[in-house]
Amino acid sequence: MSTAGSVIATLDPQVERMLESFLRSGLRKDDITIKEEREHTMDLTHFFVKAELIPVICQDERNGEVLMLGYANEQALRLTMETGTAWFFSRSREKLWNKGETSGNFIMVSRILSDCDDDTLIYRGIPKGPVCHTGNQTCFFTELWHKEDAK
């Protein structure tokens, strides 16, 4: 049994590990809310009709900067909605992962947007440190090309 904020819930082991990671990263229990499973859970299956994994763009809600791109399955999307932190499915490791679980650099998601085809999402939120594994604030820091001004 864990207490997070003002909500008391029995947590599954994966969520318990995530809560411990939050606390190790310097977040306080008052900063975290674990929501109980809702009676009427939202049907998310229509996002995964075309593919089991869909792209998720993470965007800083303060300035609109694109932070990273990941992929989510239905469980990762549901965990993001339940915990308020960005969850993905790692294609290389073939498992769920919570961004910041090991580094402490969580993305605190406040809003999820879907595109017009319901096959790509945006997690809007505030990063709690550098997002890229290289230590950069964003994963998009290498300029590939830009058009020179026409004169």
Confidence (pLDDT) at 1: 43
In the chain, what are the domain boundaries?
Answer: 47-127
For residue 14, name the pLDDT band (cuts at 50, 70, 90).
low
Instruction: Flag whether pLDDT at 4 surpasses 50.
Output: no
CATH superfamily of 47-127: Phosphoribosyl-AMP cyclohydrolase (3.10.20.810)
Confidence (pLDDT) at 30: 66
Cross-strand pairs, 57? 69, 122
How confident is the model over 25-69, as pLDDT tens digits? 777 666 665 555 444 468 899 999 999 999 999 999 999 999 999
Q: Where are the beta strands (DSSP E) in 18-101?
A: 54-60, 66-72, 87-90, 95-98
pTM (2 decimals)? 0.74
Confidence (pLDDT) at 23: 76
